[in-house]
């Protein structure tokens, strides 16, 4: 148990009793999940707003627990982060993603990007960028098809290892994307420093579009910022046609959400890539 300050201690204890305890019981199981083949990946398409063509797939992890059933990432990712196990899980996800990409290339599907969520713990490993390079070589994958999704909150760590990993993967040609953009505490300076390729507008802003003033203004401002800085912009959590119409009108390039597709298993994702999105 971490003890930051006198008061934090009590907050943390309370936290454990309320939600961490059941999670801790999952911990032992999580460590065996990779070997036991309980982890899987689903893919959610990211479409180009203008053409409705699939431009990328985001990989999202799933854990099928023998007793508890499907455990959502919101329940085990933070646990995996706290224990450091996220480094193994993360590497497994990247390898799976690149392997799937290789399969898609082999059957002649048009090339798309594959996006992978990266946790700050992974970036604190000095060998992160080297491991990425190895996987790309192993899967014979051109680096520009791999897009790493990080959050702006990672920048507050201001650690050399994190920065070096990010600069190195950029140098190799891997793309960087800022997830949940607009929700973190950060200056925008890192956009330039890291030469960020993509920003993803957080779902909470899109949910408010176009009816709420704040949601629309923030969405609009992010689209405009991205355009002026020459970055690609993706709207997350698009569920309704009127949100899509709004995004189209504002010139948002790409969108992702239940309106197009829920996250899909590899076979379904492959089928969707060959047939395209119906709309």
Site membership for ligand C2E, residue 243 (CB under 6 A): no
Burial 77-89 (b: 16+ CB within 10 A, else e): bebbbeeebbbeb
Helix (H) or strand (E) holding 114: strand 113-117
Who contacts 98 (Cβ-Cβ below 8 Å, separation ≥6)?
Answer: 114, 135, 136, 138, 139, 141, 146
Shortest distance (Å) from residue 174 CB to ligand C2E: 16
Closer residue to ligand C2E (CB): 46 or 106? 46
Interface with ligand C2E (CB under 6 A), residue total 20
Helix (H) or strand (E) holding 27: helix 21-33
Site membership for ligand C2E, residue 45 (CB under 6 A): no
Closer residue to ligand C2E (CB): 215 or 263? 263
Distance from the Cα of residue 264 to its chain's centroid: 15
CA distance 205 to 191: 20
CA angle 73-74-78, nearest 5°? 90
Closer residue to ligand C2E (CB): 121 or 250? 121
Site mask, ligand C2E, residues 60-99, x = CB under 6 A?
A: xx----------xxx--x------------x--x------
Q: Is the peptide bond before 210 cis (omega within 30 degrees of 0)?
A: yes
Shortest distance (Å) from residue 26 CB to Ca ion: 20
Shortest distance (Å) from residue 62 CB to ligand C2E: 7
Closer residue to ligand C2E (CB): 119 or 220? 119
Site membership for ligand C2E, residue 180 (CB under 6 A): yes
Q: Where are the alpha helices (DSSP H) in 108-212?
A: 120-123, 128-138, 160-172, 189-193, 203-207
For residue 133, the tally of other CB atoms under 10 A from its CB is 16
Which stretch, 103-111, 127-135, 231-239, 244-252, contacts ligand C2E (CB under 6 A)? 231-239
Shortest distance (Å) from residue 245 CB to ligand C2E: 16
Helix (H) or strand (E) holding 186: none
Is residue 237 within 8 Å of 254, Cβ to Cβ? no
Site mask, ligand C2E, residues 99-138, x = CB under 6 A?
A: ------------------x-x-------------------
Q: Which does 93 bind (CB under 5 to 8 A by kind): ligand C2E, Ca ion, none?
A: ligand C2E
Closer residue to ligand C2E (CB): 179 or 197? 179
Binding site for ligand C2E (CB under 6 A): 44, 60-61, 72-74, 77, 90, 93, 117, 119, 179-180, 203, 237-239, 257-258, 263
């Amino acid at each position: 148990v971490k003890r930051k300050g006198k008061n934090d201690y009590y907050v943390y204890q309370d936290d454990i009793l309320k939600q961490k305890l059941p999670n801790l019981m999952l911990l032992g199981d999580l460590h065996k999940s990779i070997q036991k083949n309980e982890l899987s990946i689903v893919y959610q398409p990211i479409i180009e707003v203008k053409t409705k063509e699939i431009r990328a797939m985001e990989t999202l992890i799933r854990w099928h627990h023998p007793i508890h059933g499907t455990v959502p990432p919101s329940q085990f990712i933070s646990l995996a982060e706290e224990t450091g196990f996220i480094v193994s899980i993360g590497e497994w996800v990247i390898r799976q993603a690149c392997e799937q990409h290789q399969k898609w290339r082999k059957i002649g599907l048009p090339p798309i990007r594959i996006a992978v969520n990266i946790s700050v713990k992974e970036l604190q490993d000095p060998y992160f960028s080297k491991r990425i390079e190895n996987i790309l070589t192993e899967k014979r994958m051109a680096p520009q098809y791999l897009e790493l999704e990080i959050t702006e909150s990672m920048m507050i760590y201001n650690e050399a290892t994190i920065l070096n990993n990010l600069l190195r993967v950029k140098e190799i040609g891997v793309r960087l994307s800022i997830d949940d953009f607009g929700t973190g505490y950060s200056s925008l300076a890192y956009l330039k420093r890291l030469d960020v390729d993509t920003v993803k507008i957080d779902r909470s802003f899109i949910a408010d579009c176009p009816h709420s003033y704040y949601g629309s203004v923030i969405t609009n401002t992010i689209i405009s910022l991205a355009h002026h800085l020459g970055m690609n912009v993706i709207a997350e959590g698009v569920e309704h046609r009127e949100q899509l119409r709004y995004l189209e009108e504002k010139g948002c390039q790409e969108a992702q959400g239940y309106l197009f597709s829920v996250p899909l298993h590899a076979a379904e994702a492959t089928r969707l890539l060959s047939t395209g999105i119906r709309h």
